[in-house]
A and B are shown apart, each in its own frame.
Chain A
Amino acid sequence: MDTEICWHGRGGQGVVTANEILAEAAIYAGKYVKAFPEFGPERMGAPIRAFARISHKPIRVHTQVYEPDIVVVIDPSLVGRVDVAKGVKEGGNILVNYPGTSEELKKAIGTSIECHAIDATKISMEELGRPMVNTAMLGALLKVNPIITFEELKENMVSKFEGKLSEEMIAKNITALERAYKEVR
């Protein structure tokens, strides 16, 4: 079964990195993937998107994702400003870094599509000491749509961050990942 994902965030929030971690983890778990950011000049704070197509067979379609199975919004300020529900497949999901309940989120977006709220900003402030929510969002994403196992994602995240972040920081990111996995509504 193919899964198509569309990420929304702002430049500098780690959308591209989160998409890459997911893509790499899925490949090492034996899946085929095409993952890429929206192409263009990169500007801190500007709304950006990233896409992933994940399948059990080789991927031929090289276009952007127009009909996602799941939309992940990592910046709550985009709700109401960007049409995050656009094109979502029937039976699809919208996952948002959002402080309210899933029902409130659904109303804020104005959609009948199933919505999931996770206060990833709160988690990342408590665990990492800064609002870097991308790892928490990955944890929540796997709960909403178990594309790969939690362990497969965790392993790849550790290897991705090794040498770039301190061991302490990697451990904190894992905690954020685990908490979001458990706390997503």
Chain B
Amino acid sequence: MTPAKHNDIAINGDGAVALAWKQINPDVCAAYPITPQTIIVEKFAEYVANGEVDSEYVCVESEHSALTLCTTSCSAGARTFTATASQGLAYMWEMLPITSSMRVPLIMAVANRAVSGPININNDHSDAMAARDTGWLSLFSENVQEAYDLSIIAPRIAEHHEVQLPCLVNLDGFILTHAIERMSPLEDDVVKRFVGEFKPLYPLLDVDNPVSHNLMDGPLYYFPHKYQTVLAMDKALEVAKQVLAEFKSISGREYKVVEEYRCDDAEIVAVVLGSAFGTMKEAVDRLRDEGVKAGVMMPRLFRPWPIADIAKALKGKKQVMVMDRHMVPGAYGAMYAEVAATLVEEGGDIPMMHNYIYGLGGADTMVSDFMAAYKDVIEGRAKRVNYLGVDE
């Protein structure tokens, strides 16, 4: 490495996630490679092979097996990480609600990629959105730094004894996974101290206190047991806020469950997830220069959905545009529906609402595209649901 004038490093998003995992040194990692996630597990396998971590690395023959193995290994009492994308997450789907109902605090990085078909390897959020109702916590990152930081933050939220839920750490495929950015890593011992030791609740391998996991539940127990994940999600919001505050104290980097940019005096606010949050900040600044009172926000914590924080950020706005990087044929984008429900619940004067579907399958949405969307909404040209960049 070139002698640095600072302690920052040049790294891509996948490498940053692998570096966080290396510093955390989980007990077990099992994954099946899939673009654009592959670099994460390749890099981590290299750390294992070089003895830089003492994790057990298991090569599996599919994503379904990866998640099954990781779920059982974590419930046995081992801190366990995995990663996937797109079809891989789709193939895991059958296991997703089992992992959460078993209350396993497993961490999974998702290099967000379009779900086929048509076959496509590029970025959108259709994989994460298809997993949104399966009882997993879900965090979104705007850049490589955040993908790294959230990888360190996630286990603290997931493993909290009053949460005990698995967590998705989302980073945009290629846009972040394969892009080199400047990043400030934390010292190994700082990460180790922050994440701490894994203290599993009722692990299967605690032979002195034998337990059984994931048994059959009849009608009498299924619903009440399922309801416990609702309580865990409620608790996760509070825990997330505590953990983010604690992370600031070790890193100097401040994160919120809902990130706001120039929303305070904004008349129109966009809600967006992932790397487009950064691009939209630029659009907001240029619109502000033109005298347009625009703002943008990102629910960093997508699950649990931070209802009160979102309602507060959007209170009193004239117009709200929800940017969904996935498509729901025949209905609204998923986040639009959730923002709308939040505003209805809040009551009072509900802002005029519009939904934009954008950037599917790697379609690149430029600053000028976002600016045009704001203007279309303000000037009354926008429809309820708009497909940005598609000749409708």
Residues on A facing B (Cβ under 8 Å):
20, 23-25, 27-37, 39-41, 58-64, 66, 152, 155-156, 159
The 7 tightest CB contacts between A and B, nearest first, are: A36-B179, A60-B278, A27-B10, A24-B10, A39-B174, A62-B275, A28-B2
| B: number of interface residues (CB 8 Å) | 34
Contact A24 B180 (CB under 8 A): yes
Q: State in angstroms the CA–CA spacing of A159 and B362 once bound together.
A: 33
User: Looking across the interface, which residue of chain B has its beta carbon closest to that of A55?
Assistant: B182
Q: Report which of A33, A36, A59 forms a contact with B175, defined as CB distance below 8 A.
A: A36
Q: State in angstroms the CA–CA spacing of A40 and B173 once bound together.
A: 11
Contact B174 A32 (CB under 8 A): no
Chain B residues, CB < 8 A from A156: 2
8 further interface pairs, Cβ-Cβ under 8 Å (given A39-B123, A64-B364): A33-B181, A34-B181, A39-B122, A39-B362, A40-B122, A63-B279, A63-B367, A155-B3
Count A-B contacts at CB 8 Å: 85
Contact A23 B180 (CB under 8 A): yes
Residues on B facing A (Cβ under 8 Å):
1-6, 8-10, 36, 121-123, 143, 172, 174-176, 178-182, 275-276, 278-279, 281-282, 362, 364-367
Contact B365 A63 (CB under 8 A): yes
Q: Report which of B5, B176, B178, B282 forms a contact with A61, defined as CB distance below 8 A.
A: B282
Q: Report if A28-B4 is in contact (Cβ < 8 Å); known contacts: A39-B362, A61-B278.
A: yes
Chain A residues, CB < 8 A from B364: 63-64
Q: Report which of B6, B122, B175 forms a contact with A62, defined as CB distance below 8 A.
A: B175
Q: Report if A62-B278 is in contact (Cβ < 8 Å); known contacts: A33-B181, A36-B174.
A: yes
Q: Report if A63-B180 is in contact (Cβ < 8 Å); known contacts: A23-B10, A155-B2.
A: no
Interface of B is mostly: loop
Q: Report which of B2, B178, B182, B278 forms a contact with A37, defined as CB distance below 8 A.
A: B178
Contact B178 A39 (CB under 8 A): yes
Q: State in angstroms the CA–CA spacing of A159 and B4 once bound together.
A: 12
Q: Report if A60-B281 is in contact (Cβ < 8 Å); known contacts: A28-B2, A156-B2, A159-B2.
A: yes
Q: State in angstroms the CA–CA spacing of A66 and B365 once bound together.
A: 11
Chain B nearest CB, measured from A39 CB (Å) = 4
Q: State in angstroms the CA–CA spacing of A37 and B177 once bound together.
A: 11
Chain A residues, CB < 8 A from B179: 34-36, 62
Chain B nearest CB, measured from A40 CB (Å) = 7
Chain B residues, CB < 8 A from A159: 1-2
Q: State in angstroms the CA–CA spacing of A24 and B183 once bound together.
A: 11
Contact B6 A30 (CB under 8 A): yes
Q: Report if A25-B276 is in contact (Cβ < 8 Å); known contacts: A33-B10, A36-B174, A39-B178.
A: no
User: Looking across the interface, which residue of chain B has its beta carbon closest to that of A158?
Assistant: B2
Contact A41 B366 (CB under 8 A): no
Chain A residues, CB < 8 A from B36: 39
A selection of 21 A-B contacts at a CB cut-off of 8 Å is A24-B2, A28-B2, A28-B5, A29-B5, A30-B6, A36-B174, A36-B179, A36-B180, A39-B36, A41-B121, A58-B182, A60-B278, A60-B281, A60-B282, A61-B282, A62-B175, A62-B278, A63-B364, A63-B366, A155-B3, A156-B2
Q: State in angstroms the CA–CA spacing of A30 and B182 once bound together.
A: 9
Contact B180 A35 (CB under 8 A): yes
Chain B nearest CB, measured from A147 CB (Å) = 14
Q: State in angstroms the CA–CA spacing of A31 and B1 once bound together.
A: 16
Q: State in angstroms the CA–CA spacing of A178 and B122 once bound together.
A: 38
Contact A27 B178 (CB under 8 A): no
Q: State in angstroms the CA–CA spacing of A29 and B2 once bound together.
A: 9
User: Looking across the interface, which residue of chain B has its beta carbon closest to that of A159?
Assistant: B2
